Amino acid sequence: MTFISVKPGTLLSPTPVVMVSCATVTQRPNIITVAWAGTVNSDPPMLSVSIRPDRHSHDIIRDSGEFVVNLVNRELLKACDLCGVRSGREYDKFSLCGLAPVPVSGLSSAPAIAQSPAYLACRVKETLSLGSHTMFLGEIVIMGIEETLMDAAGKIDFHKAGLVAYSHGEYAGLTEPLGFFGFSVARPEVIRRRMRK
């Protein structure tokens, strides 16, 4: 490779793109589309979402101390984009997108999105002002998975979910599996069995 130096920026790619739902006891539920999101800890399970202070959702999450990360599939993608270009200050985004809020057990106000294939409900553990964005570190307190994505053994089949990622201004579907955790050292018969699926 011959590298050209460029000024630092948010090149990391692909990122997830998720719909973060939130509410307070007095404010209607809202949805914000977030690409600056990531897993940050396994035990306890935690993730982060970074949100600009001028977003309507910012103060809702700050005040309620909770939010729900809803995964996005192909069917939800148009609504996901719409929730990223319209503000809850002017629009009821659940109605605008034809989505239904679902109460989440253990949270006081933030609902999940009924049409999402899976959600991760979070309580805010830390709030960090980083500059352009505020990073909310959330502990995942409960998750919901669409039942048709789970097999009899309780294993989640994410291939069925049709999840979408984000890369530099564009949304992209996931392709067929190209490998699996540890395939570089797996025995040939394991590779054959796992890659046939």
Ligand X SMILES: Cc1cc2nc3c(=O)[nH]c(=O)nc-3n(C[C@H](O)[C@H](O)[C@H](O)COP(=O)(O)O)c2cc1C
> Which residues form the interface with ligand X (CB under 6 A)?
17, 30, 32-36, 50-52, 55-57, 81, 84-89, 166
Nearest distance in Å: CB 117, ligand X: 18
- Smaller CB distance to ligand X: residue 132 or 148? 132
Report d(CA 51, CA 83) in Å as an integer: 14
The dihedrals phi and psi of 190, each to the nearest 5 degrees, come to -70, -45
Q: Is 75 helix (H, G, I), strand (E, B) or coil?
A: helix
Report d(CA 129, CA 171) in Å as an integer: 28
Residue with tokens 């948010």: 10
- Smaller CB distance to ligand X: residue 86 or 160? 86
User: Is-contact 135 50, C-beta < 8 A?
Assistant: yes
- Smaller CB distance to ligand X: residue 119 or 166? 166
User: Is-contact 110 68, C-beta < 8 A?
Assistant: yes
Residue with tokens 């990360």: 69
- Smaller CB distance to ligand X: residue 62 or 160? 62
- Smaller CB distance to ligand X: residue 28 or 159? 28
Nearest distance in Å: CB 148, ligand X: 26
DSSP letters spanning 139-163: EEEEEEE-GGGB-TTS-B-GGGGTB
Nearest distance in Å: CB 79, ligand X: 11
Nearest distance in Å: CB 179, ligand X: 27
What Rg do the C-alpha atoms of the chain give, in angstroms? Answer: 18
3-state percent breakdown (helix, strand, coil) of the chain, nearest 5:
20, 35, 45
Nearest distance in Å: CB 26, ligand X: 16
Question: Closest CB to ligand X belongs to which residue?
Answer: 84
- Smaller CB distance to ligand X: residue 81 or 146? 81
